[in-house]
Structure formats: C-alpha cells, structure tokens
Structure 1
C-alpha cells in the first residue's frame, strides 16, 4: 500500500489535536475544498466529516468517517469522493525523542482506483501524501490557540 512518513518537530498529542479538530480537515487534506459539517464526538469511531472535494463548481459532496482510532497514536479514516472512489487512510503517530514520526498509508478500496496496482498508486499518490504531511506538520507545529502557540 502507498505509504509516506515524515518527522514532525512536536508531540503526538499536538498532531492528534489537529486530527481531532474535524474543521481543519480541508486545511491539510489535498483535494478537500470545504467542510460542511463535523459530527459531534469526532473523531470517535463511526463519526463523520461532511466535505466537498474539488474546485467549485465541479466539487463533489461526500463524507469521510472514522473507522478506528487510538487517541494520540492512530486515526484510520474511510474517505469517500464518489464518483472517484473510496480509500482507507491511516495516520500512525510514533513518538521519537520529543518529536513524532507520522506515517500516512492509503488503500484504495472502491471505484476505479482499486484496480490500480499498489506500485502505481504509490507513484501517483506519493506527491499528494508528501503535501498532506507537510500541511499537517505546519498546522501541528505552528497552530495557535488564544493567540499562543500550543505547547
């Protein structure tokens, strides 16, 4: 399965705080253009983010829901963007000497993407994954709450 990792200069708790704020989803997920709603209790298993994918006026309204979660350590999402397809997306957060290794893994499970070999998926999704990790890192490291950078 396509997989990318990046070291973040902050704690797993700070990274997970961004993931746990569903309203930030379109800020770090490449292709997500607007968040319409976030279920109460996000990111508990089964809760959803209602989003739009793509540019206006060609955007697609769909949802992403939490398949599994270990707070502070892992978030596995079932992402939909029909008619393009569906993917299981997993983010693993591993503490490493005061920093965090974030690993992003994809598995295209429905739609045309499921027929694409994993090696080709890695090549096609690699730049997108790199950009998503870069955006997530920027938010986690520099996010401010009440005018102060989160500690």
Structure 2
C-alpha cells in the first residue's frame, strides 16, 4: 500500500511526542470523538487508547492498541471498530533536517468485512481521511514546536 505523507517543521523527537500523548488522539485522528482512557505507559507495546468514534449519540466505543514502537521513528497500531473489524496503521517518522520531519502513514484492513476489499480500493477510500489526519497532526506538531521556540 502507498503511504500518505506530510512534512512537519519539527524534529522527529518532537513529532513523536505528539503521537506519544494518547489524550491528543481525537485531535488528529479523523472520526475519533472521545477518549475514555489511555493505558499507563502508552505508547508501549500492548498499551491501548480506549476511544469512541463517530458523532454522539451514534458513537461506537472501541480501542487502539500499540503493536510495535521504535521512538522516535515508528509507531504501529491496531485500531478496532466493532463490527467493521480492525485496521493496521503504521506511522514512520523520517527526520530530514533537525527541524523537519516527514511522516508516512500506512493503513489497511486486517480483520472483518473490509479485508475483502482489494488493497487498491482500500487505499483510494482511506487516502483522503488519512491526508486529513496527517494535516491535523502536522498542525499539532507545528503548534507545539512554535510554543517551544517562544519559551
């Protein structure tokens, strides 16, 4: 699957810092609407964000679990949404310069009915949502970087 990518004006460490704050998840993940809890130690392997997706009162509660992590370069997640199934998501951070980082986001269905959808179609359906998610993430990262510089 082809990644969706964006470059942010911050180091990989500062960028990963936003990903490492599970309470920020609904601010950048399109569709996430409410965080009920973040496991202690997030984003260690096996820890979860307990979240809701969709607008109230139609939202669904589920979890996103860390499958692999390599700070500040990579975060791999499994996002569940019953009854649809779950998705594998990988965020790779590549530091271009000390104050510029490229974020690459990969996503594909790994369980449920969506696995029957061919990869090409999954990519076409998910790309607009993932571009918006990365745009939101980039704004959070840039805002934090600006605030750090002004301190």
Output the TM-score relative to the length of structure 2.
0.94
2:147 equivalent to 1:149: yes
For residues 97 and 77 of structure 1, what CA distance do their matches in structure 2 show?
26
Structure 2 portions without partners, runs of 5+: none
- Checking the alignment, whether the CA contact within 8 Å between 2:10 and 2:142 is kept in structure 1 is yes
- Determine the structure 2 residue equivalent to 1:96: 96
- Checking the alignment, whether the CA contact within 8 Å between 2:29 and 2:133 is kept in structure 1 is yes
- Determine the structure 2 residue equivalent to 1:109: 110
For residues 49 and 38 of structure 2, what CA distance do their matches in structure 1 show?
5
User: Paired residues, what number?
Assistant: 148
For residues 116 and 133 of structure 2, what CA distance do their matches in structure 1 show?
23
Structure 1 portions without partners, runs of 5+: none
Output the TM-score relative to the length of structure 1.
0.94
Indicate how the Cα distance of structure 1 residues 55 and 2 shifts in structure 2: closer, same or farther if over 3 A, else same.
farther
Could you list the structure 1 runs, at least 4 aligned residues long, displaced by more than 6 angstroms after superposition.
none
For residues 32 and 116 of structure 2, what CA distance do their matches in structure 1 show?
23
